[in-house]
Amino acid sequence: MKTLSLLRSAAWMLVICSNLQARANNITADDSTHQEKYVLVIHGGAGTILKKNMTAQKEAAYKAGLEEALKTGYKALQAGKSSLDAVEATIRVLEDNPLFNAGKGAVFTHDGRNEMDAAIMNGKTLEAGSVAGVSTIRNPISAARAVMEKSEHVMMAGRGAEQFAKEAGLEIVDPSYFRTQERWEGLQKALKADSMKSKLDHSYQPAGKLGVENIDNKFGTVGAVALDKAGNLAAGTSTGGMTNKKYGRIGDAPIIGAGTYANNNTVAVSCTGWGEFFIRSVVAYDLSALMAYKGLTVQQAGKAVIEKVGTLGGNGGLIALDKNGHAALPFNTEGMYRGMVTAEGKITIEIYK
């Protein structure tokens, strides 16, 4: 009897210790619940997303946006379409939704422009495409796909990318299409904070050394990873980048291996967060490499790479889906807009930690 109760207390201690460890690492400990077979996982950005700052109305709008995107992608997969089709269709819905920092509703650069980045990758062929710093393509994710499928290149930037998208028959819009009042106000706040800081403290070093600072510390990039009926993985990410970004700054999203990566042998990954740190940590490919070379599970590898970002001083999160449909959604911020759908169509949407 005594041995049994000793064993029981030891087991409890272990549970408590591992919970404390998870808290110490500031990584959500919900990974263990994602062993079901998921076919589509999405994110709508990670950051300081606190329930106390959210109105019921706003929360409902975010959830409705995520649900619409999940249903769109799920429908494509159910109809037997490829994971690439599902990823593109899902991200287009999120790009068209002004709540998210991608497509309409993208954040503003220091100069008051909307400059977007996007990437897509095919896990079966390791083909990839991306666009960076584009301002006139309504759906940058479709432009990324066109780069992958209709050119011999992987990455195109700025005006050249826009010219290519036009020739590929994609919808071109006036740059004012992307503008929303909320994002404009976000930029004004960031500009004010910048000038306050330089007045108050001359030694102040702007975040990322480029003045790239997300004033409300809330990101909002969108991403999707999918597994289709043929067993093929795909990943995509689309973003307006970070508020107040300068000098043609490009983030991690369009950089294959940093913010976006897919490989049928391992995993499909889409990241969100402070891009400079995700680039330096080569997060998406690192996650895949940990699985390929070290045999880590998607949960273990996801946790490890977000810890690495945290160690450098960065924050954010990611979604990862392995070839067996197991998902990991680690983040070291207060929240991450995220959603998943199983092969049976069961939808889960979460926002907070």
**Number of residues forming the site for ligand ASP (CB under 6 A):** 15
Q: Is 252 a binder of ligand ASP (CB under 6 A)? A: yes
Q: At what angle do helices 158-167 and 140-150 cross, to 10 degrees?
A: 80
H/E stretch holding 132: strand 128-134
Q: What whole-number distance in Å separates Cα of residue 205 and Cα of residue 308? A: 23
Both tokens of residue 268?
């499909």
Q: What whole-number distance in Å separates Cα of residue 293 and Cα of residue 88? A: 29
Question: Least Å distance between CB 253 and ligand ASP?
Answer: 5
Residues forming beta bridges with residue 269, ordered by sequence position: 261, 320
Question: Least Å distance between CB 273 and ligand ASP?
Answer: 5
Q: Which stretch binds ligand ASP (CB under 6 A): 31-39, 92-100, 188-196, 213-221?
A: 213-221
Q: Is 103 a binder of ligand ASP (CB under 6 A)? A: no
Phi, psi (5° rounding) for residue 330?
-75, 150
Shorter beta-carbon distance to ligand ASP: residue 76 or 118: 118
Catalytic residue among 109, 221, 239, 266: 221
Q: Is 251 a binder of ligand ASP (CB under 6 A)? A: yes
Q: Is 236 a binder of ligand ASP (CB under 6 A)? A: no
Q: Which of 49, 93, 116, 253 binds ligand ASP (CB under 6 A)?
A: 253
Q: Is 164 helix (H, G, I), strand (E, B) or coil?
A: helix
Q: Which of 236, 273, 302, 310 binds ligand ASP (CB under 6 A)?
A: 273
Both tokens of residue 332?
């070291």
x/- track of binding to ligand ASP for residues 57-96 (CB under 6 A): ----------------------------------------
Dihedral sign from CA coordinates of 165, 232, 281, 112: positive
Q: Is 241 a binder of ligand ASP (CB under 6 A)? A: yes
DSSP conformation class of 106: P
Q: Is 260 a binder of ligand ASP (CB under 6 A)? A: no
Q: Is 147 helix (H, G, I), strand (E, B) or coil?
A: helix
H/E stretch holding 86: helix 83-96
Return all residues near 312 (Cβ < 8 A) that are at least 6 apart.
277, 280, 281
Return all residues near 33 (Cβ < 8 A) that are at least 6 apart.
none
Shorter beta-carbon distance to ligand ASP: residue 128 or 212: 212
Q: Is 100 a binder of ligand ASP (CB under 6 A)? A: no
Question: Least Å distance between CB 245 and ligand ASP?
Answer: 8
Contact 186, 107 (CB under 8 A): yes
Q: Is 144 a binder of ligand ASP (CB under 6 A)? A: no
Question: Least Å distance between CB 130 and ligand ASP?
Answer: 12
- The question of whether 333 is a catalytic residue gets the answer no
Residue spans of alpha helices (H) in 172-252:
181-200
Q: Which of 136, 139, 232, 239 binds ligand ASP (CB under 6 A)?
A: 239
Q: Is 317 a binder of ligand ASP (CB under 6 A)? A: no
Q: Is 333 a binder of ligand ASP (CB under 6 A)? A: no
Interface residue list for ligand ASP (CB under 6 A): 45, 101, 219-221, 239, 241-242, 251-253, 259, 272-273, 275
